[in-house]
Structure 1
Amino acid sequence: MNAASLPASVFVQLARISPAPAGLALLRSALHARRLLLLKVLLVRVHRQRASVGPGALDRFERSWDLLERVERHHPAVVRDVLDYPTTGAWLAGALTEPAGPAFDRLLGHLDNLAVTAALRGGGPLDLTVETPDGLLPLPGVGRLRVAADRVRISADERTARFHPDGSRRAAPAVLTTTGRGRGLLTGRGPGWSAIRPLPRSATRLDDLDPYRVPPGAGGGMAVLAADPAETDHAAWSALWRAAQDLLVRTDPGRAAEVARGVRAVVPVVPHGSRHLGGTLSAAPGAVLTSLPEGVPGMAETLVHELHHSKLATLHELVPLYGPGRDAVHRVGWRPDPRPVAGVLHGAYAHLALADLWRRVATTDGVPTAWRTTAGQQFDDIHDQVGAALPILLESDELTRQGRVFVHHMRRHHVSLGTTPLVAG
């Protein structure tokens, strides 16, 4: 997909933070096209540098590539879903930037996990042995198998897959069963198996298991650490997700649907002391990295805010909105440190979505009075902050032509939010 594939009407909808399904559908198509491109770049690199890749790693990579192609011929939607899962993007980014050597060879081994996941979700016969470094076999978006062995034999038919550590058939195996005919859904049981659990009323996963959910260097200057799966309170996360969705449905049904479709994974991370921490990775759109927010409005805010970072990151890959980074930095109201133009645009876009959210919460009957009052205050602050940031963007020569058009439409939506008096109970 290229910029010519983006209808002007959808571009405007995205700039004005509309939750219309056409925008998210187009961004998903753009994301998939980019994943395929990056995967092809990795294949070309492996072939060109095959002399520097360990023989075992090369054989595994080529076998996994062949398996992925075979599954795609019969189950293209399943393969697409696996490749588009957020952590696949984080893995690809790491593999493409890693110098040749043992670390690169280990990264190549993850293609095994992607191909096996697609094959098991697609169903059908499978009989192969895969390596399990550190005694782990991760299946992205599905779960993780822990074994006391450095390899596992997988035997599967159309409905059931069994995992035999070291090829042994004596020990009781872990088992995965296909439960969603045509949709590639799996459930598991048995020794060493841990599932990535879905959040209520959505396809979103609470992913506390994937090895690439928080890659090294996530957060830039601020260290972001994945939460220990043993400490994940699944009931608390599910309750907060459900309540936040209820709040969004009550105040903005379109946004609620967009969050349910657009957020593919919520990744628990360690808070910074008493501070809540939320973030996204440009390489992994659709994943929200967050510590457990305090309260329902906090969860709704985190989901909306981080989803818009993901949307803008994907759009920028399709239609560049700004040029290469320069030394110029600018003060913004939502952060104490000065930001480059890219940071100003990302922050203004995500905060414009929050201004829209808090305005709706403040003016919706049936929302608790305390929430409405707080939402009104939040709206006032954020609306002013975005209003101060937009001129910085419009006066910058770092925006592309499309970027200037995008910000002009952001400003129009910002102005429209302030035209009706707020009513806070």
Structure 2
Amino acid sequence: MPAPARYLGISAAQLTSLARGRDHPGIASLLRRAWLSRNLTFFAAVSPAPQVSATGTGQSPLDTLIRAQQADRAAVDSVLTHPRFGAWAAYCATAAPGHGQFADPIGFAASFAVAAALRAGIEFALPIPVVGGVGVVPGLGTVSGADGAYLHVRGHHGRLELDGGQTWNPVRTWHSGASTLEFDDLPPTPAAWPDQVVAPHWMPIADTDYDWWKGCFETARQLLDDTVPELAHPLAHGMRAVVPRSHENTGFVSSTLVDAFGAAAMITPVDGMGLATGLLHEFQHSKLGIVLELVPMIACDTEVSLPSPWRAGPRPPSAVLHGVYAHLAVGRFTRGLARANGSAELAERADTAHRQTVKACATLLDSATLTEIGRTFVTVLRRTVDDDARAVAAAGKE
């Protein structure tokens, strides 16, 4: 008799903790397992394709991943849960043939296999696609000195063996305690942000601009730790990458892709507070995106549009729910900063966030778009927003 199917689930207590903005200790592990399962499902849909195994080197990306997993499962899971892997796997499994700007999106399986092999310390030899004049190893860096559409790379004991004229350029990272956040200014792989296009020659962010980002991050980390530690801790352990975007090429301040859990695309922040707010906002979107795949909260999302306090036009119910979840966290952070700094401007921002979030909760609860679980979740969100405001008001009278 076959073993019964096993499904990931989320408890009522865990859902309540998410709605309260005080994540249950098991949430981080649950979201990571759900994200890994999702990515592997998409990968299974594309991995048997001939392009994945026919590399002409005697090795295949899939074989390399399997050998790496046998050597170090945690190292491979780190690659399989990387935001770029999730975006790539979903893109390959769902995009129409010939869609997009990449001639061979499946070929990027080799890039992820190289990343896994390097992390696991096994021997490998694979051709990886060249983007913007470099071979991209997601999450780790690039190899410059490429000539042609593919770059043949070899590795031994966790080290790349480069040919003459080739140079390894590691991805730059920010560290916060035991966690690491990538500054992902590498060339795009399939399913990049909509405005991110392949340039003939890739150049990383200049050192002076990078130093500004890094300084903002150090300030942002301290602000989040001091003001909303209950939100800062999950972010530090769940956010994997910041993707810097250009003011000229994008219409947003920050954004999240549902297929790239743990990554946020952002324009250059004005200061550390701006970066902290953007990271907090986008990580809330990332978390809720996975939760909504585990728990059906929206009964009808395709034929109904609702007014949103944050947009000029109507939005799908799921988008309004995302807005509530993100602004609950941002409002709490802003209100805490206002109290710590005695800032009337920040207090007004927090009050505006409170009014908008309450209004959006009422819109959702008055509609017929939520499931029973969704109504419970939004009801707790609504109560949490008011509780946050009352707590700060009470603290101010002491």
TM-score range, shorter chain: 0.7 to 0.9
Determine if the alignment matches structure 1 residue 146 to structure 2 residue 141.
no
Determine if the alignment matches structure 1 residue 208 to structure 2 residue 185.
yes
Superimposed CA distance per residue, residues 251-289 of structure 1 (whole angstroms, 9 cap, x where no aligned partner): 122322222212100000122689761100011111011
Q: Do the aligned partners of residues 111 and 129 (structure 1) sit closer, same or farther apart at CA in structure 2, a change above 3 Å counting? A: closer
Q: Please point out which of 263, 283, 287 is paired with 2:239.
A: 263
1:250 match:
226
Superimposed CA distance per residue, residues 50-82 of structure 1 (whole angstroms, 9 cap, x where no aligned partner): 6xxxxx555139811111011111211011000
Classify the secondary structure of the residue corresponding to 2:247. coil
Q: Do the aligned partners of residues 355 and 131 (structure 1) sit closer, same or farther apart at CA in structure 2, a change above 3 Å counting? A: closer
Distance 1:11 1:226 in 2: 40
In structure 1, the gaps of 5 or more residues are: 51-55, 165-170, 175-190
Classify the secondary structure of the residue corresponding to 2:217. helix
Contact 2:52-2:109 at 8 Å conserved across structures: no
Q: Do the aligned partners of residues 3 and 351 (structure 1) sit closer, same or farther apart at CA in structure 2, a change above 3 Å counting? A: farther
> Number of residues paired by the alignment?
380
Superimposed CA distance per residue, residues 275-327 of structure 1 (whole angstroms, 9 cap, x where no aligned partner): 76110001111101100121222111111111101011010111122135233
Classify the secondary structure of the residue corresponding to 1:419. helix
Distance 1:21 1:350 in 2: 20
Displacement after TM superposition at 1:226 (Å): 9.1
Distance 2:121 2:99 in 1: 33
Q: Do the aligned partners of residues 83 and 324 (structure 1) sit closer, same or farther apart at CA in structure 2, a change above 3 Å counting? A: farther
Superimposed CA distance per residue, residues 344-373 of structure 1 (whole angstroms, 9 cap, x where no aligned partner): 111111111111212222233xxx44xx33
Superimposed CA distance per residue, residues 140-159 of structure 1 (whole angstroms, 9 cap, x where no aligned partner): 10001122423444343325
Classify the secondary structure of the residue corresponding to 2:357. helix
Q: Do the aligned partners of residues 332 and 297 (structure 1) sit closer, same or farther apart at CA in structure 2, a change above 3 Å counting? A: same
Q: Which amino acid aligns with 1:402?
A: I
Classify the secondary structure of the residue corresponding to 1:80. helix
Q: Which amino acid aligns with 2:188?
A: P
Distance 1:346 1:138 in 2: 32
1:72 match:
69
Q: Which amino acid aligns with 1:42?
A: V
Q: Do the aligned partners of residues 360 and 229 (structure 1) sit closer, same or farther apart at CA in structure 2, a change above 3 Å counting? A: farther
Q: Please point out which of 336, 349, 365 is paired with 2:312.
A: 336
Q: Do the aligned partners of residues 110 and 153 (structure 1) sit closer, same or farther apart at CA in structure 2, a change above 3 Å counting? A: closer
Q: Which amino acid aligns with 2:182?
A: R
Distance 1:101 1:225 in 2: 16
Distance 1:205 1:136 in 2: 19
Determine if the alignment matches structure 1 residue 18 to structure 2 residue 22.
yes
Displacement after TM superposition at 1:336 (Å): 1.7
Q: Do the aligned partners of residues 287 and 274 (structure 1) sit closer, same or farther apart at CA in structure 2, a change above 3 Å counting? A: closer
Distance 1:63 1:205 in 2: 27
Contact 1:205-1:266 at 8 Å conserved across structures: yes
Q: Do the aligned partners of residues 142 and 241 (structure 1) sit closer, same or farther apart at CA in structure 2, a change above 3 Å counting? A: same
Distance 1:71 1:200 in 2: 26
Classify the secondary structure of the residue corresponding to 1:333. coil
Residues 348-359 of structure 1: pairs in structure 2 closer than 5 A: 348-359=324-335
1:168 match:
none
Distance 2:352 2:240 in 1: 30
Distance 1:85 1:131 in 2: 18
Determine if the alignment matches structure 1 residue 88 to structure 2 residue 88.
no
Determine if the alignment matches structure 1 residue 382 to structure 2 residue 353.
yes
The normalised TM-score by structure 1 is 0.81
2:123 match:
125
Displacement after TM superposition at 1:381 (Å): 0.2
Distance 2:99 2:13 in 1: 48
2:338 match:
362
Displacement after TM superposition at 1:244 (Å): 0.6
Q: Which amino acid aligns with 2:317?
A: V
Contact 2:188-2:198 at 8 Å conserved across structures: no
Classify the secondary structure of the residue corresponding to 2:284. helix
Distance 1:298 1:2 in 2: 42
Superimposed CA distance per residue, residues 390-414 of structure 1 (whole angstroms, 9 cap, x where no aligned partner): 1111122222222112111111212
Superimposed CA distance per residue, residues 210-231 of structure 1 (whole angstroms, 9 cap, x where no aligned partner): 4238626x3xxxx567997444
Distance 2:213 2:161 in 1: 30
1:237 match:
213
1:418 match:
389
Residues 270-281 of structure 1: pairs in structure 2 closer than 5 A: 270-271=246-247, 277-281=253-257
Farther off after superposition, 147-156 or 92-101: 147-156
Distance 2:188 2:312 in 1: 32
Contact 1:309-1:349 at 8 Å conserved across structures: yes
Q: Do the aligned partners of residues 387 and 198 (structure 1) sit closer, same or farther apart at CA in structure 2, a change above 3 Å counting? A: same
Q: Do the aligned partners of residues 159 and 362 (structure 1) sit closer, same or farther apart at CA in structure 2, a change above 3 Å counting? A: same
Distance 2:79 2:306 in 1: 39
Displacement after TM superposition at 1:200 (Å): 3.5
